[in-house]
Structure 1
Amino acid sequence: MKTFLFRTMIGIFFGAFLALVMTYAVIWFGDVETLSSEAFVRNSLGSMFCGWFFSVTPLYFEITTLKLWQQTLLHFITVSLLYFIISFGIGWIPFQMTTALLSILSFLFIYFIIWIGFYLYFKSESRKLNEELNHL
């Protein structure tokens, strides 16, 4: 429970930070003089919610009774559903066939690359730990 609460706070704060950085980027690089307060609040809350579930859902990988494929499937389904519900609902992704398909394919590609990266990292770490245990 302590880990869940800590990750919740970190995720919400990180999401809020990203919302502010994106707002500053829109103002500075987008040559926008005024912002809609409604859009700012909607996007900020969406970003904070995304930060929350992206920081909390890796807890699936700490459930030792599940196999890796089960952990990955649960994580993927949870993250995908929540992200695309928010993205389409808020308007981050326009609800058009080509844009939606391109967004889904990009999401899958990025998810796969990040998953492979973490898998290879933890496999390397476990190999190092096993070598150290064999030298004892």
Structure 2
Amino acid sequence: MKTFLFRSMVGIFFGAFLAILMTFAVIWFGDVQTLSGNAFIRNSIGSMFCGWFFSVTPLYFEIPTLKLWQQTLLHFLTVSLLYFIISFGIGWIPFQLTAALLSILSFLLIYLIIWIGFYLYFRSESKKLNEELNQLQ
């Protein structure tokens, strides 16, 4: 529970930080003089919620009773469902077929790249640890 709460706070703060950075980027690069308060609040809450669930859902990978494919499936379903509900609800992704398909394809590609990166990293780390253990014997 302590880990869950810590990751929750880190995720919420990181999401809020990203919301502020994106607001600055819109003002700076978009040459926007005024912002809608409602849109800012809606986008900020969405960003904080995304930060929260993206930081908490990796806890699936710390459940030793689940196989890697089960952990990955649970993580993927949770993250993608929550992300797309928020994205369509807030308006980050418009309700158009091409925009939705492009967003889903981009999400899948990014998820796959990140998953493979973490898999290769942890596989490399386990090989190093095994080699060190073998040298001790």
> What is the deviation of 1:104?
0.1
Kindly provide the CA deviation profile for residues 32-64 of structure 1, in whole angstroms up to 9, marking residues without a partner as x: 000000000000000000000000000000000
Q: What is the identity, as a one-letter code, of the residue corresponding to 1:80?
A: S
Name 2:31's counterpart in structure 1. Answer: 31
TM-score by length of 2: 0.99
Find the residue that maps to 1:32 and give its secondary structure.
coil
Find the residue that maps to 2:34 and give its secondary structure.
coil
Name 1:75's counterpart in structure 2. Answer: 75
* Structure-to-structure mapping, 1:37-52, within 5 angstroms: 37-52=37-52
* Structure-to-structure mapping, 1:79-94, within 5 angstroms: 79-94=79-94
Kindly provide the CA deviation profile for residues 70-95 of structure 1, in whole angstroms up to 9, marking residues without a partner as x: 00000000000000000000000001
Name 1:3's counterpart in structure 2. Answer: 3
Q: What is the identity, as a one-letter code, of the residue corresponding to 1:13?
A: F
* CA–CA distance in structure 1, aligned partners of residues 6 and 103 of structure 2: 30
Give 5+ residue unaligned stretches, structure 1. none
* CA–CA distance in structure 1, aligned partners of residues 19 and 56 of structure 2: 18
* CA–CA distance in structure 1, aligned partners of residues 64 and 30 of structure 2: 47
TM-score by length of 1: 1.00
Q: What is the identity, as a one-letter code, of the residue corresponding to 2:103?
A: S
Name 1:123's counterpart in structure 2. Answer: 123
* CA–CA distance in structure 1, aligned partners of residues 107 and 5 of structure 2: 27
Name 2:63's counterpart in structure 1. Answer: 63
**Structure 1 residue runs of 4+, over 2 Å off?**
none
Give 5+ residue unaligned stretches, structure 2. none
> What is the deviation of 1:69?
0.1
Q: What is the identity, as a one-letter code, of the residue corresponding to 2:110?
A: I
Aligned pair count reads: 136
